[in-house]
Amino acid sequence: MVRVKLWGSLSDFADGKEVVEVEASNFKQLLDRLGETYPGLKPQFERGVSLAVDGTIYREAWFTPISDENEVVLIPYMTGG
Amino acid sequence: MTFQSGAKRDFQVVGKRLVRPDGIDKVTGKALYGADFSAPGMLFGRVLRSPHPHARIVSIDVSAAESLEGVKAIVTGWDLAEPEDEAIRDIRDNCLARDKVLYDGHAVAAVAATSKSIAKEAIRLIKVEYEILPHVTDVDVAFRPDAPAVQEGRSDETVPEESSPNITRRFEFGHGNLEDCFAKADKIVERSFKTAATHQGYIEPHACLASLGSDGRGELWCCTQGQYLVRTVCSEILGLEASQLRVTASEIGGGFGGKTTVFIEPVALALSGKAGRPVKLVMSREEVFRASGPTCSSSIDVKIGMTKDGRITAGEAVLRYSGGAFPCETVQFGSQAAFAAYDLDAVKTHGFNVMTNRPKEVAYRAPGAPMAVYAVESVVDELCQEFDLDPLEVRLKNAARKGTLSAYGPTFNEIGLMATLEAAKAHPHYSAPLGPNQGRGLSCGFWFNFGGNTCVSLNINSDGTVGVVEGNPDIGGSRASISMMAAEELGVPYEKVRTVIADTNTLGYNDTTDGSRVTFAVGLATIEAARDAIKEMCGRVAKLWGIDEEAVIWENGCAKPASSNAGDFEPMSLADIAAIADNTGGPIAGHYEVNADGAGVSFGVHLCDVEVDRETGSTQILRYTVFQDAGKAVHPDYVEGQMQGGAVQGIGWALNEEYIYGEDGKLQNAGFLDYRVPVASDLPQIDTVILEIPNPGHPYGVRGVGETSIVPPLAAISNAVCRATGVRMTELPLSPARLQKALQEA
């Protein structure tokens, strides 16, 4: 199981949990399965989220591998100027 | 994605201060900017804008304008299509209003005519009946539950019920137990801050030339930071297929984030489609101020606890940003960046986006971060003063480093904050003496950076020269740095490489030039494209020599036998191989397509000395030094230029720049005479110290450098003013009138 940290206002839609566990081996599976378990997360997922794996931020890469040995954090979708 | 990140490399081209490829064109006027394009039969467009900050459009009567000789087309918001994407519908409604006008300057209708004067007269003849609605331009007023609603029904699921209708989204970040950690502090300071909306202030106004035929095929030339984004947005707003709209980016006279959207391009296309002729549309400076996007205005509450020996125990902030009359995401970045420089056991930020009757916000260099960092760094400085602690030592004591759980969630890996702080501490600036009414300020800054979608084609020409085709407008010297990385990898002189920017139909999709991404992501793709071409060249040489491909290596611009076991062959240069390409398999090219990740965050530290005239309240910048981690500075001149440019824009933000609205909701200073950006005579030399802590996510260690430099100046200057005067200012800009009043009241 991968432990996924959620940012504060996202945890409101995961029964208040700041960390959720999910069976997933990549970013796409993580999004799909979290969306199934916590449907309230889906609107934010549709607007866009980024994934930080061991401190490196991935914006869209569905096939980014993750495992229970990684620090996995969901953060809002990154843009810039 | 992995690269040879650990390997030390002796660069031959990268890191040198080489001649910029666009210099002569720009100083001689040869370079073509957005307004320089023209076409046979071209019409001139003009936009009618709302004089009201908030009103319902009851009717638009264009009959008199239509009958004016020379008028060829008139469009309103109802001539545009219905995009599926909500964000693009907002852009459409910003380009031309439909039911309501939402700010002073909001576009209502547009005309195309055979001359500028006829277009101007036609605009005057359009009659719009408005029903005036109550307006709100201040973020704190708009935050109240009883505030006039700028738009109804735009709050999403994150916004608590009973909130102001203008709050569209809420963000929360952080970790730890605030209550316990604040209890460990010897002193807690709480302050509220406000910052004004500021404009990116690019010298070139938005300009475009559009040609759209009745067959749905279009051509668009425009100044933009992203031609692919323009294509996507305009296609949806016009109901076109993306492949049928070719967008070509002109040279760009500054963007700084402000040209990452569209304002006039869909309007020009709609006019052209209706008139059947090309239409040129150029914004005036007044239109740029009134109707293109400034950054957010903000109102921020900060609470920080510190022990008397300078350890920060906890931090909390509430950030209210207004991105104008539409939903806006910028506050999330401020909420994440606010405490990013610190290693904290407990931290929490709460961000709210609030709509006001102001123009739709557009990104501005590290969007959202400068004002958040200003508020936090001001309170940290106040606590340092309270305990009589050296502000730099306090930063060193609390600085985020490898292994720090960041305030926005992930744990940092390799970052350069400690190195930049140590460099600042060791620099002569930090210990230089100060005179009367002078003060020294310090601030850290942070920005995420990112990579994104990128395509590069690299062509080996038959004469041994190299052409690189990339898809990102060059706003900060990227053509030079891309050419340098291609030359480095191929082992050819820089002068043999030319990099050009493709139109949307020449190269695959590229994300916009933003997020400090181009030197990182396009550079990465260029290096990989060069390696692809090298592989092809080595393969052909192997065939010529009759040996295995693996037995040929690339070294110093030549294919060579990998060892004496591979045979005794004279090395073949890139030019040798290119000259016989026809005989060995045809044209040689390298390609790379990637959605690049691993950009690596960036930190900076700014030192600033000011002198305040207590009589007039004016602030002079005496000395300014920027310390920033660039990963690897590909072209140090350009890196320094980014560091200096960000600092100067931040100086303007801190001291003078602001959108000023009257009680009537109208912008009062829509021009450079009244909206005061810093000019050369206001500034000292901005000194720079580049640090190079390699980014493991890039083959040469590159990090983005374009945005971080605007983050620290607001706090650095405000802290310097406080130390010069003894007065802590909590509202920007520190204009002479505001500072003089505060000094008198102190």
Task: Annotate B325-371 with DSSP letters as a single string.
Answer: SS---HHHHHHHHTTTTB--SSEEEEEEEE--SSPPP---SSTTHHH
Put simply, the answer to whether A59 touches B595 (Cβ < 8 Å) is: yes
Q: How confident is the model at residue B518 (pLDDT cuts 50, 70, 90)?
A: very high
**Residue A81: inside a domain:** no
Query: Are residues B14 and B710 in contact, defined by beta-carbon separation less than 8 angstroms?
Result: no
Which 8-state DSSP code applies to residue B504?
Answer: T
Mean pLDDT across B107-124: 98
Q: Give the CATH number, domain containing residue A17.
A: 3.10.20.30
Query: CA-to-CA distance for B643 and B711, rounded, in angstroms?
Result: 11
Query: CA-to-CA distance for B312 and B443, rounded, in angstroms?
Result: 15
pLDDT, tens digit, 9 for 90 and up, residues B731-744: 999 999 999 999 99
Mean pLDDT across B26-35: 96
**Residue A45: inside a domain:** yes
Query: CA-to-CA distance for B615 and B17, rounded, in angstroms?
Result: 45
Query: Are residues B269 and B79 in contact, defined by beta-carbon separation less than 8 angstroms?
Result: no
Report the gap between the CA of A28 and the closest CA in chain B (Å): 15
For residue B295, pLDDT over 70 is answered with yes
Check residue B125 and give its pLDDT. 98
**Residue A53: inside a domain:** yes
A 10 A CB-CB count for B553 gives: 15
Burial class of residue B280 in the structure, from the number of CB atoms within 10 Å of its CB (0-12 exposed, 13-18 middle, 19+ buried): buried
Query: Are residues B621 and B717 in contact, defined by beta-carbon separation less than 8 angstroms?
Result: yes
Query: Are residues B366 and B710 in contact, defined by beta-carbon separation less than 8 angstroms?
Result: yes
- Give the tokens for residue B33: 């900017």
CA nearest neighbour of B689 among B645, B631, B634, B625: B625
Share of chain B above pLDDT 90, in %: 98
- Give the tokens for residue B335: 């909420």
Query: CA-to-CA distance for A65 and B329, rounded, in angstroms?
Result: 28
User: What residues have CB less than 8 Å from B740, skipping those under 6 apart?
Assistant: B615, B616, B617
For residue B746, pLDDT over 50 is answered with yes
pLDDT, tens digit, 9 for 90 and up, residues B261-278: 999 999 999 999 999 999
pLDDT, tens digit, 9 for 90 and up, residues B121-151: 999 999 999 999 999 999 999 999 999 999 9
Put simply, the answer to whether A61 touches B697 (Cβ < 8 Å) is: no
Report domain extents, chain B. 23-31+451-596, 420-444+601-746
Put simply, the answer to whether B597 touches A58 (Cβ < 8 Å) is: yes
Chain A residues near residue B408 by CB distance under 8 angstroms:
7, 75
Chain B residues near residue A28 by CB distance under 8 angstroms:
none
CATH class of B23-31+451-596: alpha beta
Check residue B150 and give its pLDDT. 98
Report the gap between the CA of A73 and the closest CA in chain B (Å): 6
Report the gap between the CA of A54 and the closest CA in chain B (Å): 7
Report the gap between the CA of A31 and the closest CA in chain B (Å): 18
**Residue A19: inside a domain:** yes
pLDDT, tens digit, 9 for 90 and up, residues B367-395: 999 999 999 999 999 999 999 999 999 99
User: 3-state SS string over B644-694?
Assistant: HHHHHHHHHHHHCCCCCECCCCCECCCCCCCCCCCCHHHCCCEEEEEECCC
For residue B53, pLDDT over 50 is answered with yes
Put simply, the answer to whether B158 touches A76 (Cβ < 8 Å) is: no
Query: Are residues B182 and B188 in contact, defined by beta-carbon separation less than 8 angstroms?
Result: yes
Side-chain-side CA neighbours of residue B443 (13 Å): 38
CA nearest neighbour of B515 among B453, B589, B583: B453
For residue B2, pLDDT over 80 is answered with no
- Choose among B171, B410, B516: nearest Cβ to A52: B410
Backbone angles phi, psi at B342, to 5 degrees: -120, 150
Chain A residues near residue B200 by CB distance under 8 angstroms:
81
Cα torsion B349, B191, B384, B443: sign: positive
User: What residues have CB less than 8 Å from B8, skipping those under 6 apart?
Assistant: none
Share of chain B above pLDDT 70, in %: 99
For residue B1, pLDDT over 80 is answered with no
Query: Are residues A29 and A54 in contact, defined by beta-carbon separation less than 8 angstroms?
Result: no
Element (H, E) at B68: none
Check residue B6 and give its pLDDT. 46
Backbone angles phi, psi at B183, to 5 degrees: -65, -20
Query: CA-to-CA distance for B59 and B393, rounded, in angstroms?
Result: 64
Which 8-state DSSP code applies to residue B536?
Answer: H
Check if B23-31+451-596 and B420-444+601-746 are the same fold: yes
Check residue B612 and give its pLDDT. 98
Q: How confident is the model at residue B7 (pLDDT cuts 50, 70, 90)?
A: low
Cα angle value B350/B354/B360 (rounded, 5°): 130
Put simply, the answer to whether A81 touches B365 (Cβ < 8 Å) is: yes
Q: Which residues of B620-655 are buried (b: 16+ CB within 10 A; e: fewer)?
A: ebbbbbbbbbbbbbbbbebbbbbbbbbbbbbbbbbb
Mean pLDDT across B661-670: 98
Query: CA-to-CA distance for B327 and B360, rounded, in angstroms?
Result: 9
Chain B residue whose CA is closest to A5: B409
Put simply, the answer to whether B174 touches A8 (Cβ < 8 Å) is: yes
- Choose among B332, B365, B410: nearest Cβ to A55: B410
Cis omega before residue B733 (within 30°)? yes
Number of domains chain A is built from: 1
Chain B residues near residue A80 by CB distance under 8 angstroms:
257, 363, 366-367, 447-450, 514-517, 707
Chain B residues near residue A52 by CB distance under 8 angstroms:
409-410
Q: In this predicted complex, what is the ipTM?
A: 0.95
- On whether any CB of chain A is under 8 Å from the CB of B585, the answer is no
Chain A residues near residue B156 by CB distance under 8 angstroms:
43
At CB < 8 Å, which residues of chain A contact B? 5, 7-9, 12-13, 18, 40, 43-44, 52, 54-61, 64, 71, 73-76, 78-81
For residue B460, pLDDT over 50 is answered with yes
Q: How many residues does chain B have?
A: 746
Query: CA-to-CA distance for B534 and A77, rounded, in angstroms?
Result: 36
Q: What dotted CATH number matches B420-444+601-746?
A: 3.30.365.10
Query: CA-to-CA distance for B18 and B634, rounded, in angstroms?
Result: 10
Check residue B502 and give its pLDDT. 98
Query: Are residues B116 and B44 in contact, defined by beta-carbon separation less than 8 angstroms?
Result: yes
State which residues form the domain around A45. Answer: 2-76
Query: Are residues B333 and B146 in contact, defined by beta-carbon separation less than 8 angstroms?
Result: no
Put simply, the answer to whether B172 touches A58 (Cβ < 8 Å) is: no
Query: Are residues B730 and B192 in contact, defined by beta-carbon separation less than 8 angstroms?
Result: yes
Largest CA distance in chain B: 87
pLDDT, tens digit, 9 for 90 and up, residues B149-182: 999 999 999 999 999 999 999 999 999 999 999 9
Report chain B's mean pLDDT, rounded to a whole number.
Answer: 97
Report the Cα–Cα distance between both ends of chain A, in Å, rounded. 37
CA nearest neighbour of B630 among B711, B688, B702: B702
Report the Cα–Cα distance between both ends of chain B, in Å, rounded. 57
Report the gap between the CA of B237 and the closest CA in chain A (Å): 20
Chain B residue whose CA is closest to A7: B173
- Give the tokens for residue B39: 């076409």
DSSP secondary structure of B92-141: HHHHS-SSEE-STT-EEEEEEESSHHHHHHHHHH-EEEEEE------HHH
- Choose among B173, B411, B517: nearest Cβ to A71: B411
Query: CA-to-CA distance for B212 and B653, rounded, in angstroms?
Result: 40
Q: How confident is the model at residue A4 (pLDDT cuts 50, 70, 90)?
A: very high
Report the gap between the CA of A47 and the closest CA in chain B (Å): 10
Report the gap between the CA of B411 and the closest CA in chain A (Å): 5
**Residue A70: inside a domain:** yes
Q: Which amino acid is at B160?
A: P
Element (H, E) at A47: helix A42-47
pLDDT, tens digit, 9 for 90 and up, residues B571-613: 999 999 999 999 999 999 999 999 999 898 999 999 999 999 9
- Give the tokens for residue B670: 């829509």
- Give the tokens for residue B611: 């002198």
Check residue B4 and give its pLDDT. 45
